[in-house]
Copies of this chain bind each other. A is one copy, B any other.
Amino acid sequence: MLEKIKKIGVLTSGGDAPGMNAAIRAVTRSCAFYNIECIGIYRGYQGLIEGDFELLTARSVRNIINKGGTFLKSARSQEFRTVEGRAKAYKNLKDAEIDALVVIGGDGTFTGAIHLEKEHGMPVVGIPGTIDNDINGTDYTIGYDTALNTVVDAIDKIRDTASSHDRLFLVEVMGRDAGDIALNAGIGAGAEEILIPEEDMGIERMLDSLTKSRKSGKTSSIIVVAEGEKSGKNIFELADFIGENLTDYDIRVSVLGHIQRGGAPSCYDRVLASKLGVGAVEALLRGETGVMVGITHKLVTSVDFEVAIKGSKPLDKELRRVLNITTI
């Protein structure tokens, strides 16, 4: 264990995700366990620049493990994107005698951390907290499992109406670059089709498929559409396009939107956040820096920030195949 780490700062940055509070709690408690002071930094990198700090003790984080959002708040910071901004941030860290940093967020968060670490030698370890599951080097990101449950719960409700009225619903879910939410929630909600960023399966093929299922006796259907899907139409244009081509379908659109980000985290996300929170502090104590701790088959592992944010994860083709089979 490195003797020199006496004070660790922790912040959340980027879009909030359920389980971020559980991660902050685990970081704080791990610090207490190892007799390290823990400093909460409010509003992400912007708060770092403004010196918006507060001492966190084991008691400060009571009764937050089940709360959505992040009590440390999050914010975008234009200033932190500049060399000057990061210099200011580093000065605040030094003034507060913070020896190392844990940053919780997604790829933007880790990009900021890379700069801070390279320019100032600040030890930083990251924790993947984003509902999008679009980070390499970890099987799951914190918040993703909860978001999936929120989405299937919402589509279960929508299906009540779809079935009652024999309708076709297009349901838009989050995922600008990654189809993970659409694919998993699509299977989970028993959707007939999914549209995702990773593939352009051609909407003609979808029309064929819908025509076929209508003939086979299906009267209602759900199509899950990821934000970033590749047809080139937005979801309302898609609905119009289908309506023009398949006149016996009564079509509706539902955009799930921001409800997907909030809510009490699932048990899985709370446990994952607890493991990664402990793992991040212990990684710093082992002398690691410039890495993200992630989960790989139940084990906490470290990968370089560059690996974590590089390129996009490949689509789970096996899961794609499962969807095709189970929607026959």
Q: Are B267 and A152 in contact (CB under 8 A)?
A: yes
A258 touches B161 (CB 8 A): yes
In contact, B73 and A184 (Cβ under 8 angstroms):
no
Interface of A is mostly: helix
- State whether A165 and B75 are in contact (beta carbons under 8 Å apart), knowing that A160-B68, A262-B157, A326-B25 are contacts in the complex: yes
**Known interface pairs A163-B63, A255-B257; A158-B262 also in contact (CB < 8 Å):** yes
Q: Name the contact of A184 in the complex, choosing from B15, B32, B218, B267 (C-beta under 8 A).
A: B267
Which residues of chain A from 20 to 68 have any CB-CB distance to chain B below 8 Å in the complex? 20, 25-26, 29-30, 32-33, 43, 58-59, 62-63, 65-68
Q: Which residue from chain B places its CB closest to the CB of A217 in the assembled complex? A: B59
A209 within 8 A of B: no
Asked if A278 CB lies within 8 Å of chain B CBs, one says yes
Contact B267 A160 (CB under 8 A): no
Q: Does A258 contact B169, Cβ atoms closer than 8 Å?
A: yes
Interchain CB contact under 8 A, B157 and A68: yes
B325 near A30 (CB under 8 angstroms)?
yes
**Known pairs A66-B156, A69-B163, A187-B271; A298 contacts B316 (CB<8 A):** yes
Does any Cβ of B come within 8 Å of A159's Cβ? yes
Q: Does A277 contact B (CB under 8 A)?
A: yes
A74 contacts the other chain (Cβ, under 8 Å)?
A: yes
B262 near A252: Cβ-Cβ < 8 Å: no
**Bound-complex Cα distance A29 to B65 (A):** 28
Q: Shortest Cβ distance from A82 into chain B, in angstroms?
A: 21
Beta-carbon contact of B26 and A165 below 8 Å: no
Q: Tell whether, in the assembled complex, residue A69 and residue B258 are in contact, meaning their CB atoms are under 8 Å apart.
A: no
A96 at the interface (CB under 8 A from B): no
> Does A197 touch B at the CB level, under 8 Å?
no
Contacts of A32 in B (CB 8 A): 328
The verdict on A264 contacting chain B, using a C-beta distance below 8 Å, is yes
Residue A285 interfacial (CB < 8 Å): no
User: Is residue A190 within 8 Å, beta carbon to beta carbon, of the partner chain?
Assistant: yes
A229 within 8 A of B: no
Check A187 against B157 for contact (C-beta < 8 Å): no
Chain B positions within 8 Å of A159 at CB level: 63, 66, 69, 262
Q: Mark A199-242, 1 if CB is under 8 A from B, else 0.
A: 00000000000000000111000000000000000000000000
Q: A319: which B residues are within 8 A, CB to CB?
A: 271, 275
Q: Find chain B residues with CB under 8 A from A300 CB.
A: 318
Interface string of A263-300 (1 = CB under 8 A from B): 11011101100110110000000000000000011111
Can you offer 17 A-B residue contacts whose CB atoms are under 8 A?
A12-B164, A62-B218, A67-B160, A70-B164, A139-B298, A145-B267, A149-B266, A152-B267, A160-B262, A160-B263, A187-B274, A188-B268, A188-B270, A275-B319, A275-B322, A278-B325, A298-B316
Besides A73-B166, A188-B267, 10 more A-B contacts (Cβ < 8 Å) are: A68-B157, A69-B164, A145-B267, A160-B261, A161-B258, A188-B271, A254-B258, A274-B322, A275-B319, A278-B326
7 closest A-B pairs by CB: A157-B262, A69-B160, A160-B262, A68-B160, A148-B267, A16-B164, A188-B267
